[in-house]
C-alpha cells in the first residue's frame, strides 16, 4: 500500500502544476541519478522563428514547405506556417507522410515534395550541399529537384540553465539527447553546461540510449511529448512537459509538467525528497 505521505506529495505537486500519476513514481523520483533531457521544446522554447530563406523564389519555397507542414504539429511545422501567413489549399496535398526525426514526405500538385533535414533528402537521393550553419536548417526538394533551404532559430527557455546547474549541484548526471545536428546541439550544450550530448538521434535511437542507461542506474527522461512516447516509457520515470504533448505522450508519462519551465522539475524533485523523508 502507498503511505499517506505520498498522497500529500501528489497533492502538493498538483498545486504546482505537476501531475504525478502514482505514489510509487514520487518515491522513485528522488532515487533518480541520471536526468536525460530532450532538447527541442524541452530545454529550448521550440518556438522557431524563420530568419533566412535561401532559394531562387522565396515565396515558392515557403509555399511548398507550408503545404507539406500543414498537418504536422511539430514546432518546426508551426513556425514555417507562421512565416507563410497565407491560406493552405488542402486539396493539393496527397499521400502525407511524417517521417519521425526527419520531416515530411508528401505529394503536392501531383509531384513529390520533401521538407525536412539533410537525412530526409539523402535517404531520398536528392543532390544538394549541406550548409555549415549553427541553426536549424530545413531543406525543400520538389519533383526530385533541390529547391533551397529555410533557416530557423530557437531560444533557450528561461529556467533551463538554472535547472541544469541545480541538478549538477545535487550530484545528478545530466544528458541531452536530440534529433538535431551536432553543431546546434553542442552550442546549446555549451550555453547550458551540459557536456554529455547525443545528437542526430532518431526517436528509436533515443529509446535505445535511455534503455541502456536505465540498466546502469535510475533514470528520468524529460521530453515535450512530441515523437517521444516510447522514450518516455523507456526511462524509470518519464516526464512530459508543456502543452504540445499528445494524449499518447501523456499516457506514456509518469508525470506531466503543465508549465513549460524546466525549473518545475526541481520543485517536484524537492517534493519527492521531502515526502520520502516523512515516510522514513
Ligand atoms: P528533437 O526534439 O530532439 O529535436 P525530433 O525528433 O522532434 O527531435 O526532430 C529531429 C529533427 O527532425 C528536427 O530537428 C528536424 O530537423 C527534423 N524534423 C522532425 N519533424 C519535422 C517536421 N515536421 N518538419 C521538418 N523537419 C522535421
Ligand atoms: Mg522533441
Summarised one tens digit per residue, pLDDT across range 72-90 is: 988 899 999 999 999 999 9
- Three-state DSSP at 93 gives strand
Q: Where are the domains of the chain?
A: 4-44+157-279, 49-153
105-125: per-residue pLDDT in tens?
A: 999 999 999 999 999 999 999
* Average pLDDT, integer, range 62-81: 95
Confidence of residue 280 (pLDDT cuts 50, 70, 90): low
Percent of the chain with pLDDT over 70: 98
Judge if the beta carbon of residue 203 lies within 6 A of ligand 1. Answer: yes
Q: pLDDT tens across 122-162, in order? A: 999 999 999 988 889 999 999 999 999 999 999 999 999 99
181 Cβ closer than 6 Å to some ligand 1 atom: no
The answer to whether the CB of 163 is under 6 A from ligand 1 is no
Neighbours of ion ligand 2 (CB under 5 A): 38, 40-41, 226
SS3 for 220? strand
Instruction: Output DSSP code: residue 156.
Output: B
71 pLDDT band, cuts 50/70/90, is: very high
Ligand found nearest the CA of 205: 1
Place of cell 532559430: 153
- Assigned C-alpha cell, 76: 518546426
The topology (CATH level 3) of 49-153 is Calcium-transporting ATPase, cytoplasmic domain N (3.40.1110)
List the grid coordinates of 147. Answer: 529547391
Distance in angstroms (rounded) separating the CA atoms of residues 104 and 116? 6
Q: How confident is the model at residue 172 (pLDDT cuts 50, 70, 90)?
A: very high
Ligand 1 pocket, 147 CB below 6 A? no
Specify the pLDDT at position 121: 98
Pocket test for ligand 1, best of 97, 100, 101, 122 (most atoms within 8 A of CB): 101
What is the per-residue pLDDT for 140?
98
Q: Residue 100 Cα, ligand 1 centroid: separation in angstroms?
A: 7
Domain 4-44+157-279, CATH 3.40.50.1000 — does that match? Answer: yes
**For range 56-82, the mean pLDDT:** 95
Q: Give 171's pLDDT tier (boundaries 50, 70, 90).
A: very high
pLDDT exceeds cutoff 70 at 91: yes
Q: What pLDDT, on the 0 to 100 scale, is given for residue 175? A: 98
Q: Which ligand is nearest to the CA of 242?
A: 2
- Nearest alpha carbon, ligand 1 atom 6: 101
Q: Which residues contact 223 (CB under 8 A, 6 or more apart)?
A: 37, 38, 41, 42, 231, 232, 238, 239, 240, 241, 249
Amino acid at each position: 500500500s502507498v503511505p499517506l505521505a505520498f498522497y500529500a506529495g501528489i497533492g502538493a505537486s498538483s498545486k504546482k502544476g505537476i501531475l504525478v500519476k502514482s505514489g510509487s513514481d514520487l518515491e522513485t523520483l528522488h532515487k533518480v541519478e541520471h536526468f536525460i533531457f530532450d532538447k527541442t521544446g524541452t530545454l529550448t522554447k521550440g518556438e522557431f522563428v524563420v530568419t533566412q530563406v535561401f532559394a531562387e523564389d522565396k515565396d515558392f519555397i515557403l509555399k511548398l514547405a507550408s503545404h507539406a507542414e500543414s498537418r504536422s504539429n511539430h514546432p518546426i511545422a508551426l513556425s514555417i506556417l507562421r512565416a507563410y501567413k497565407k491560406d493552405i489549399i488542402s486539396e493539393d496535398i496527397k499521400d502525407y507522410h511524417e517521417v519521425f526525426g526527419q520531416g515530411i514526405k508528401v505529394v503536392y500538385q501531383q509531384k513529390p515534395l520533401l521538407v525536412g533535414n539533410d537525412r530526409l533528402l539523402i535517404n531520398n537521393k536528392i543532390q544538394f550541399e549541406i550548409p555549415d550553419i549553427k541553426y536549424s536548417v530545413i531543406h525543400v526538394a520538389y519533383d526530385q529537384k533541390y529547391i533551397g533551404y529555410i533557416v530557423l532559430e530557437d531560444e533557450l527557455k528561461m529556467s533551463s540553465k538554472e535547472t541544469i546547474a541545480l541538478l549538477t549541484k545535487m550530484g545528478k548526471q545530466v544528458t541531452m539527447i536530440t534529433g538535431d545536428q551536432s553543431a546546434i546541439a553542442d552550442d546549446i550544450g555549451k550555453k547550458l553546461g551540459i557536456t554529455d550530448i547525443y545528437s542526430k538521434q532518431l526517436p528509436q535511437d533515443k529509446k535505445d540510449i535511455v534503455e541502456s542507461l536505465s540498466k546502469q542506474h535510475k533514470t528520468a527522461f524529460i521530453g515535450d511529448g512530441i515523437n517521444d512516447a516510447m522514450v518516455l516509457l523507456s526511462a524509470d520515470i518519464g516526464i512530459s512537459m508543456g502543452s504540445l504533448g499528445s494524449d499518447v505522450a501523456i499516457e506514456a508519462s509518469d508525470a506531466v509538467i503543465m508549465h513549460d519551465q524546466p525549473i518545475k522539475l526541481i520543485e517536484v524533485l524537492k517534493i519527492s525528497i521531502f515526502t520520502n523523508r516523512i515516510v522514513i
